[in-house]
Structure 1
Amino acid sequence: MALTIGGLGRATGTKIETIRYYERIGLLPKPVRTNGNYRDYSAAELGRLSFIRRARDLGFSIDQVRALLTLSDERRQDCATVDALARTHLGEVERKIADLEALRSELSALIASCTGGTVACCRIIEALAPHAIFEG
């Protein structure tokens, strides 16, 4: 199976610039080139890029993806390191969710405080600019 960069992009839902970026930073190996100097990707690169995409979709950072790729290349290694990396990432996701829930609560309270009227008396604007920068 041989794919051009466009074919690889379509097969994985990845933009061509992103594929080139992954090559530059070493997540994807430099592909072989055809006689016409086109990139020529195999099933191995398709699988690797699919792995990268899925990990990124799950919110893993580039460094975490790099670590996961390194670990996945060592098939006989104990998966405790992979588990620890995933658990650390889950903790980060849970912290972000808690931050977003607090943000939602704060925004909901601001919206609920709105009593209508003019912007000059707007509780939301007042909360955003507590030092009355709009007075004048």
Structure 2
Amino acid sequence: MSSIASVNASLAGAPATPTPTAGVSARADAGPPMAPSDAPAKPDAASAASAVIDSAQAADRARKQRAAQELQKQIDQAMAQSRTRTSLRFRVEEDVGKIVVSVVDENGKTLMQIPDDTALALARRLAETGSGLVDRQA
């Protein structure tokens, strides 16, 4: 206990040293903190990010289109050698950016489609609103 009393006594007589506050440097060679207006001007990050996203989306659409065309070519070659009367058709729905696969008969009538028209309509709705399925916000 005597050691605690001597520490408390030495602290009581010592002058109070201020502690630095948040954001203030305790170094002696540091200048005053920079105000937000002193910060160097940065290019508009939102427009730069938007341009990057648009570029990536365009590249993705082009990649999907090429993939659909190549797949269609391979399927046509395989179906030409087979004896089936149905075929597969691939296309890219531009407004939603999805590849659509259709099973068609020899007359060109669509027998089945993946994703179906309902799913494509839902995807279009989501792409248009950007906020989901709800028309109103609270």
Same fold (TM over 0.5): no
Structure holding more strand per residue: 2
> TM-score if structure 1 supplies the norm length?
0.30
Tell me: higher relative CO, structure 1 or 2? Use CA pairs within 8 A at least 6 residues apart.
Answer: 1
For the pair shown, the structure with the greater C-alpha radius of gyration is: 2
Structure holding more helix per residue: 1
